[in-house]
A and B are shown apart, each in its own frame.
Chain A
């Protein structure tokens, strides 16, 4: 990558972000936000952070983008046109000055720190012991497995929190359907969805496997799976399960549960989240597969929203 490319990319990122924030039209703003996510993905690629690039494009742009578009659509249906009340000019100017000053402060703090790859060496030294090649997976699933474990519970907790918002009489029904057409799963969209879902499954499985050695991993794979589920739901090829569906609940907790059980089993060997020598890769891959499944289902249901009363559906 050349310097000119980097500079143009950064200018585009800042410009797109400004558009995502300042466009009056909410839909246009969301579209610019999605473009921003993809440009940020390019930025991460330019920084040789392929794992982050995949996560940013899939989650930051993809899932978040779908979520925002869907929420906007549902708000419009409720008669909320997403127009922000205009602030008085002097308040806007005040906010602008304050934020510019804040950014200047943070910017000078950033400039005072020299970029450095400080932990890369010690991570590289420890990687052979894990039997996997991708150092980011190593950090996520070994050195900082505790962070990742807690994060898996944040994701699960967020779905429970979404569910807790179910209106009166809606529990334990299904979330509102995403289907574009009410033809009950015929037509092009449905066929596309039916075709895409198995493809998404295969690709997710590949991403987990590749993630041990190449860029990829449970989060990227889970997002691909979620994407497949959401597209299939939009096409009407799958319908959301009821919130009290047994299989659903097992699928949701599988990843966090496997992670936690392996972590607790480590106590017998020495410490919480300790992987016995020789089994590191096997345990990491087991955690990643189960996590990917749970993350996929959890993200898809988060996008779907809380259950609704049957007569509201559609």
Chain B
């Protein structure tokens, strides 16, 4: 019985494990960000799934999950932009040299 009550949180745990595995084996940063999002979704399931009463889910963890989802998308957007800029930099040798000199200066 307890396993059935724990169905969704345990699914969340499976996502956490899978996500971390993906994070470790996928070497491309965009794929890693995707993996991290899977981990995040798993954590949200644990948080919300363990906050379930007889009738419905506790609104408190629901609100925390919504907050978490928004933080996750904000970070994902920044990460995606950063990956793109790194790729651009590697494509344009001039920029790269310029960036190097700024490093040295500061």
Chain B interfacial positions (CB closer than 8 Å to A) = 2-22, 24-28, 30-31, 33-35, 37-38, 41-42, 44-46, 48-60, 62-67, 69-78, 80-85, 87-88, 91, 95, 98
Contacts and interface: CB of A to CB of B under 8 A. Distances in A.
Chain B interface, >50% SS class? helix
Given A49-B57, A110-B46, A165-B81, A75 B17 contact: no
A253 B86 CA distance: 28
Interface residues of A, number: 97
Contacts of B56: 48-49, 117, 120
B73 A162 contact: no
A306 B6 contact: no
Interface centre among B18, B24, B59 (most CB of A within 10 A): B59
Closest 7 CB pairs of A and B: A117-B53, A103-B17, A21-B22, A139-B63, A302-B77, A158-B74, A135-B59
A110 B6 contact: yes
Given A52-B65, A60-B72, A167-B88, 16 more contacts: A33-B37, A33-B38, A43-B8, A63-B73, A84-B28, A110-B46, A111-B6, A117-B57, A119-B60, A123-B59, A139-B59, A140-B67, A144-B64, A165-B81, A302-B73, A305-B84
A74 interface: yes
Contact of A14 (B14, B33, B50, B75): B14
B7 A144 contact: no
Contacts of A143: 60
Interface string A115-150: 111111001000000000001101110011001100
Contacts of B41: 17, 36-37, 40, 56, 60
Nearest to B80: A71
B48 A44 contact: yes
B4 to A, nearest CB: 7
B77 to A, nearest CB: 4
A117 B7 contact: no
Nearest to A12: B11
A143 B14 CA distance: 31
B14 A51 contact: no
Contacts of A100: 17
A251 interface: no
